[in-house]
Each structure stands twice: as C-alpha cells, then as structure tokens.
Structure 1
Amino acid sequence: MELRVGARVARLSYNCDLLFRIIEIRDVDGVKKVLLYGEDMRLIADAPYSDLKLIDDIEQKRYMTEELAKQESSFSLFKQDYHLTREKSEYLATNGYQGEYEFFQMPGKVLHLDGDPTYLKKCLSLYEKIGVPVYGVHCNEKEMPERIGGLIEKIRPDILVITGHDAYSKSKGKVSDLKAYRHSRHFVRTVMEARKKVPNLDQLVIFAGACQSHFESLIRAGANFASSPSRVNIHALDPVYIVAKISFTPFMDHINVWDVVRNTLTGQKGLGGIETKGVLRTGMPFNRYND
C-alpha cells in the first residue's frame, strides 16, 4: 500500500472511526509521519504511516451515505425551526393576520473565516441552500488575527465565524492549558481582535473554534458561541447551523443556547455559548417592482 497526499484514509488504532485526507507525509527520525485533516470533522491529527488504512471507493461511498443521512436529518430539523420562526414574524408583521401587509426580511450577514478550503466550500454550499447571506474567506489559522480587523471593516458583518482545524494534545499540557491546543490560541487572538472593532456582543455575534478547541478561553475572549465544552470533535457544518439560527431570529428575540445547539450534528458536548439576541430585521412595505 502506498499512501499519497490527498488520499482518504482511516486510523487502525481508532477502529477506523473517522475518515481523513492526507495533507502531508514527512520523515521524522527515519519514521514516516502523516498529517491528517478530518473529512467531515474539524480535526487535525498526526499518525504513523503504518497506522493508516487506505479507504477505497466502496468504503468512501458507505461513509458518504451515512454522512449525508446525518446532514439531511439536521437540515430537516433546521427547516422546521425556521418555518416556526417565519410564522411568528409574519404574525407580528401583519398585526395578528388582521391586515394584508406585505413585508420583507433582512437576515444577518455572515463573515466566515475558515482554515480549510474544502470545509469552506461545503459550508458556503449549505449557507446558499439555507438562504444566509455570506462572505467566505479561506485563511490559515495563524494569519487570522492579523486579517480579521480589515475584513470586518470591509464586510461589516452581523455574524462572524472563526473556524478551521484544531486538536488537543495531552503530551503538551493539561486540558486547561491553552498551549496544549493546535490552533485555539490563534482563534482566541482573532476573537479578541474582532472585539476591538465591535465590542458589543449583540452588534457582532461570534462563533469560534473547531474540534476539541479551548471553549472557556474563546468565550472569555468575547465569542458568543464556541467549541468544544467537552473537548470532542465537531462537525464541519456545525458553525453553519448555529449562525443560520441567529441570522433568522428577529433582533428583538433572545436565543436560548439550547435552541441554537439542538439542531447541530454534534450537540451540547461539542458546542456551547451564552444568551444572545437574533439579528433578523423585518420591514415593510415590500416593493414588488424590485422582483
């Protein structure tokens, strides 16, 4: 078996539980080491060459079928939630359906920074499917703190997503030690830089983090929502479901954290946050000449 960069593999020592793609193969003191990115989980990992199993087309199809089923289930729950929110907005805008008022809605605009171009592409596709206005940027996690200020000034988003890859390494320190994480410190610095531009937690809603990220530090830095409270892996699409809920919730309504997390693919072990206002704004009259 010869492994190449870009190949899909799984780790034998973890019973092939997750699908990865190979990013880099290097020689360390005569031993081949492989850098892996999770195919659907926002996890970065190192593995010995000998611990990897090449996943053929048939097995990849099986992984993809299971993955799509989970995504469709989550999307279905989100749609139900969205329709309930839409009906509530329509009821209020029409004075309890007593008038035939025509109204329009302005969902919150998202700036999404992602350390992985493949994940970013998947997320942008889901944003489009849901109907969330978004500006996506692929950016190395280490470069995010320097770039975020200019991007906020340029895009002026209502919601900011700071994500990519992360991982906790027990050999580098305790769970509470920020330096034991691959990219958490970069996410923390990026959140802090964003808060210098927009300090108010309701004027700019921030989601930050990836797999196993240092949840407490991200919240303290100024994130409204973050990963990962139990240091578990999070799904690549989880940030989209979180910010979509915020984007379509009226700005007069407060969002309970559970209401945001419940339709994600990972759930409360991987995602958490603080009470936050929605950012959707409803207006009238609706101008049909703009159709």
Structure 2
Amino acid sequence: MQFQIGDMVARKSYQMDVLFRIIGIEQTSKGNSIAILHGDEVRLIADSDFSDLVAVKKDEQMMRKKKDESRMNESLELLRQDYKLLREKQEYYATSQYQHQEHYFHMPGKVLHLDGDEAYLKKCLNVYKKIGVPVYGIHCHEKKMSASIEELLDKYRPDILVITGHDAYSKQKGSIDDLNAYRHSKHFVETVQNARKKTPHLDQLVIFAGACQSHFESLIRAGANFASSPSRVNIHALDPVYIVAKISFTPFMERINVWEVLRNTLTREKGLGGIETRGVLRIGMPYKSN
C-alpha cells in the first residue's frame, strides 16, 4: 500500500497501540524510505519502516477518538470536583465558618505554557480556557527553549511553567539512563536549569517538564516539581494541563500530595511524577461586581 503525508496509521510491531499521522518521509543512509510519525493524542514523534505501518480507517479513528474523549472528560470532571471542594473549603474559612457574608475573589496561579507542538498547544489552551486557568501559550521548538526561557519569564512572570513538546527514547542511541539517547530530554533539562537560575525556589515557580518517554530523573534533578516519564511511557497531550490546573487551584498555604495531582491525569504514575509542592491560588476580599 502507498502511504502519503497526512495518512493516519498505526505500527504493527507495537500492536497498533498509538494512532499516528505521517508528517514526513525521509531517506535513510541505506537508501530506504521511512515515515516520520506524529502521535495524534500522545506527545510522541517516531519513525517507522513503511512495512510496519497499517492504515487506520475512519471508523476506527472515530472509535479511538470517542474513547479518548471519554477519558478526558473523566479527568476534567475530577478537576471540577476538586475545585468545587476547594472553593467550599475556602468560603468556609474566609467567612469565619459562615459568620460573615463578605464577598471574596480567587486568583488562580498564572501559567506560562511552552510547547514544541503548535497543534497540541492549541488543544491545551482550549482546556485551560474550559477550566478557567489563566495562561500564556508560546509555541517554541524544543531546541530553542533554553535560550528563550529567561526572557519569557521576565515578560510573563508566571506562577507555573510548563515545558513540553515531543520526546522519545531510542535504545539504539544508548541506555535508558543516557540522556543523549532521548530526542529532546536534554533540551528540556537545559530549559529547567535556566529557569531555576532566574527563580531557584521550588514554590515560587512551579515547573512541569517533559513529554513522551522523557528522562524523569534528570528533569527532577534539574529543578522541575513535576515531570515525565518515570516508566518511560507515552503521556497524553493534555496531561500537563491536568497537573498545572490542580496546582493553580490549590491555595498557596496548602501542600499538594503528589498522588492527588497524578490521579487527575490520563497517564498517572507510570508516565508522571513529582515532589511535594505548594499550591499557588490566592484569595482576596472584598469583591465588588460592576
């Protein structure tokens, strides 16, 4: 079968577990053609021999999409429930156990979302908007992030920083502990390090970093509060959103249990991990509506 750029495919050698779009065709040193693949719902870029590819029909695409949307909605509902409970708890304390009727307002943490994939960035921004997280979204190639981050932090002054895009581990390039065996983990690490030069304190700037199969340990050592991927698995395109939304809506006086953050994600502890971190939500009063 002849494949073209834009075709939706899956890989036979991986039991057709991930839906990909062909975004390019390259020639190897041996003169063979290989397909460059872009994960449709996971933050993964891969390459494959055409002989390993299977075309995915539209009805199969729709079935996978519905299943993915169902999982996304479950995560969103968990976030909404958490936020509702937090609001009720804060209202109780802000009004001295409902003895006063002052109106108060919430200031969720601001997010700077740096993404190596423009399409995924748009998806993430849509979800941020749905759940009410204030966000600045920047599309930037992974290799350019480290050089840009200090200027962006000065410009946007976020409470939470997301550094994501595409990544992948290649066993042909080295062992699982070798940072050079990863497509973009090294660039994510350098970006985190540069961000920490500006803001060393882990609770003054909360950082999520990583993508599919990223070198989790290096990202945490570099200064990320949360990162992917402890088990080197693929993460969902929207997983960073679910993590930072929990942080954005948690009051700054409260510490966030890591599992409470991970349970709202689609990948959970195999794909994501982190360290104990303070929330960034602040509450004020009085609030007067116009």
TM-score by length of 2: 0.98
Q: What amino acid maps onto 2:18 in structure 1?
A: L
**Does the residue aligned with 2:36 lie in a helix, a strand or coil?**
strand
- TM-fit CA distance, 1:271: 0.6
Residues 184-219 of structure 1 show CA distances to partners (whole Å, capped at 9, x for unaligned) of 000000000111111111110000000110001000
Matched with 1:131 is 132
- CA distance in 1: counterparts of 2:4 and 2:205, whole angstroms: 42
Amino acid at match of 1:280: L
Correspondences of 1:139-178 after superposition (within 5 Å): 139-178=140-179
Q: Does 1:21 pair with 2:21?
A: yes
Deviation track 1:144-186 (CA, whole Å, cap 9, x = no partner) reads 0011111110000000000011111111111111111110000
Give the SS at the match of 1:170: coil
- Residue type at the aligned position of 1:236: A
For 1:284, the aligned partner's letter is M
1:107 aligns with 108
Corresponding residue of 2:234:
233
In 2, distance between residues paired with 1:171 and 1:26?
A: 18
Distance of 1:79 and 1:2 partners within structure 2: 45
Map residues 268-287 of structure 1 onto 2, 5 A cutoff: 268-287=269-288
d(CA) in 2 for partners of 1:150, 1:37: 29
TM-score, with normalisation over the residues of structure 1? 0.97
In structure 2, C-alpha distance between the alignment counterparts of 1:149 and 1:138, rounded to whole Å = 15
Q: How many residues align?
A: 289
Amino acid at match of 2:93: L
> C-alpha displacement at 1:6, in angstroms?
2.3
Match of 1:171, SS? coil
Cα deviation for residue 258 of structure 1 reads 0.7
Moved more, 200-209 or 1-10: 1-10
Moved more, 125-134 or 90-99: 90-99
Residue of structure 1 in register with 2:78 after alignment: 77
Matched residue, 1:219? 220
Which residue matches 1:63? Answer: 64
C-alpha deviation, 1:13, in angstroms: 1.4
Name the structure 2 match of 1:187: 188
Query: After TM superposition, what 4+ stretches of structure 1 lie above 6 angstroms from structure 2?
Result: none
Distance 2:251 2:2 in 1: 53
Give the secondary-structure state (helix, strand or coil) at the position aligned to 1:111.
strand
| Structure 2 Cα separation of the partners of residues 162 and 6 of structure 1 | 27
- Residue 130 of structure 1 aligns with an amino acid whose one-letter code is I
**Using the alignment, how far apart are the partners of 2:98 and 2:2 within structure 1?**
66
Opposite residue 17 of structure 1, the aligned amino acid is D
Amino acid at match of 2:21: R
Deviation at 1:23, TM superposition (A): 1.7
Structure 1: runs of 5+ lacking an equivalent: none
1:45-71 CA-to-partner distances (Å, cap 9, x unmatched) read 111012111222212111111111111
* CA distance in structure 1 between the aligned counterparts of 2:230 and 2:61, rounded to whole angstroms: 30
Q: Distance in 2 between matches of 1:223 and 1:45?
A: 25
Deviations along 1:94-151, one digit per CA (max 9) or x if unpaired, are 1111111100010000000111111101100000001000000111100100111111
1:10 CA drift (Å): 0.7
Aligned-pair Cα RMSD in Å: 0.9
Q: Quick one: distance in 2 between partners of 1:95 and 1:275?
A: 28
Kindly provide the amino acid, as one letter, of the partner of residue 107 in structure 2: M
Q: Which amino acid aligns with 1:54?
A: A
Partner AA of 1:286 in structure 2: Y
Gaps of 5+ in 2: none
Q: Which amino acid aligns with 2:86?
A: T
Percent identity of paired positions between Structure 1 and Structure 2? 65
In 2, Cα distance between the equivalents of 1:67 and 1:259? 21
In 2, the alpha carbon distance for the partners of 1:121 and 1:188 equals 24
